[in-house]
Amino acid sequence: MLGFFGRSVVQKLITLFCISVLSFLIIHLAPGTSAQIDPTNPMFTKENLEQYRKEFHLDRPLYVQYYLFYKNLFTGKLLSRKDGQPVLAKIWRRFLNSLPLFVVGTILTWTLAFPVGIAAAIRRGSMYDRTTTFLAYLLISIPGFFLAYILIIFVVSVFHVPVIGMRTPGLSGVTALMDRTWHLLLPSLLGATGGIAVLSRYVRSQMLEVESQDYIRTARAKGLSERTVIMKHALRNSMIPVITLFASILPILIGGSIVIEIVFDLPGMGEYMYRGLLSRDYNIIMAVMAMTSAMTLAGILMSDIAYALIDPRISYS
């Protein structure tokens, strides 16, 4: 197990290094310049350009820029090209704002997708199965921003409560905690809709495939209860492909927060990267990309380790 874990960590680190190099090169191939450089400004001079290039090491070779960028990122000295403020400190604050949204969205995805998928597999061909299939494809097809605006209009019109931002100003104590929870619930639910739709369909298909196996028929022939057959035998043996799929859903949950945070005006990582894209602040873009890549690979690593916990037949020798 330790040998597998070590090899997996090394593989993920190599993958992360390749991602960092490719993203760094792609960013530097992008046309245009940072918003801080405006050649149309009459106050713009060659001296300003030279000072800017030296400040952000743009006069150095690409491999030196790459080294200095990640050195400054890990030491907290990387500065925004727009306002000159430390990027890592801002990302950490934005990450703490996005973390509850991501955690709640992940919990909702797991807790809702599995019961829906299992019930649809058990009641294959029923009205419940057809309804959940229709709703899953509907949620996959509807753009997230459109659904977000519809829900905002509905909640504000019917319940007359604010949903934009992270909290309502002027509240304190238990009321402020409840208000913060309310502001978190709707964005988290919207962020999880795509994952719930995809994962529930996959759980259904895997359960149907497992139910046709001989050991399931043998378990039923032994007189085991239907609950034991489904939960202990069918579900457990269908979990490995589902865990693999969930690792691939992690980027959707992380990336999807960009749209959600913009619509709900939440100062999170997605909204921060969006502002960096608008201002062509490449330091912000690359730093957020590096962080989300590391989070995604960490999720894949955890899914690899979870295989051994779910299926003892798997050997990591």
Q: What is the DSSP letter of 265?
A: T
Residues 191 and 300 in one domain: yes
What pLDDT, on the 0 to 100 scale, is given for residue 182?
80
Residues 94 and 50 in one domain: no
Nearest to 150 by CA among 103, 186, 113: 186
What pLDDT, on the 0 to 100 scale, is given for residue 127?
92
- List, as one string, the DSSP characters of 217-233: HHHHHTT--HHHIIIII
* The pair of three-digit structure tokens given for residue 240, joined into one six-digit string: 């490995």
CATH of the domain at 246: 1.10.3720.10
pTM (2 d.p.): 0.74
Higher pLDDT, 88 or 170: 88
The string of pLDDT tens digits covering residues 27-37 is: 877 766 554 55
The string of pLDDT tens digits covering residues 159-168 is: 887 788 777 7
Cα 124 from Cα 126, distance rounded (Å) = 6
Residues 57 and 98 in one domain: no
Overall number of domains in the chain: 2
Percent of the chain with pLDDT over 70: 85
- In sequence order, what are the beta bridge partners of 86? 79
> Is the distance from CB of 169 to CB of 83 less than 8 angstroms?
no
pLDDT reading at 131 higher than 90: yes
**Which of these three, 47, 75, 103, is where a domain ends?**
75
**Which of these three, 75, 104, 127, is where a domain ends?**
75
Residues 173 and 277 in one domain: yes
Give Cβ neighbours of residue 203 (< 8 Å, ≥ 6 apart).
113, 114, 116, 117, 118, 121, 238, 242
Cα 135 from Cα 196, distance rounded (Å) = 10
With tokens 């990582």, the residue in question is 269
Cα 241 from Cα 254, distance rounded (Å) = 21
pLDDT reading at 298 higher than 90: no
- Residue 190 structural domain: 87-310
What pLDDT, on the 0 to 100 scale, is given for residue 254?
60
What pLDDT, on the 0 to 100 scale, is given for residue 130?
92
The string of pLDDT tens digits covering residues 197-217 is: 888 888 888 888 887 777 788
Lowest mean pLDDT among 50-59, 72-81, 242-251, 296-305: 242-251
Angle between the N-to-C axes of helices 144-159 and 173-211, in degrees from 0 to 180, rounded to the nearest 10: 130
With tokens 């139910």, the residue in question is 211
Residues 178 and 286 in one domain: yes
- pLDDT grade for 302, boundaries at 50, 70 and 90: confident
With tokens 């259904």, the residue in question is 204
* The pair of three-digit structure tokens given for residue 32, joined into one six-digit string: 């245009």
What pLDDT, on the 0 to 100 scale, is given for residue 311?
63
- In sequence order, what are the beta bridge partners of 79? 86
The string of pLDDT tens digits covering residues 35-83 is: 455 555 556 666 766 777 777 777 788 888 899 889 888 888 888 877 7
- 81 is a domain residue: no
Backbone angles phi, psi at 119, to 5 degrees: -65, -40
272 Cα distance to chain centroid:
15
Q: Locate all alpha helices (DSSP H) within 56-172, ordered by sequence.
A: 62-75, 87-122, 127-141, 144-159
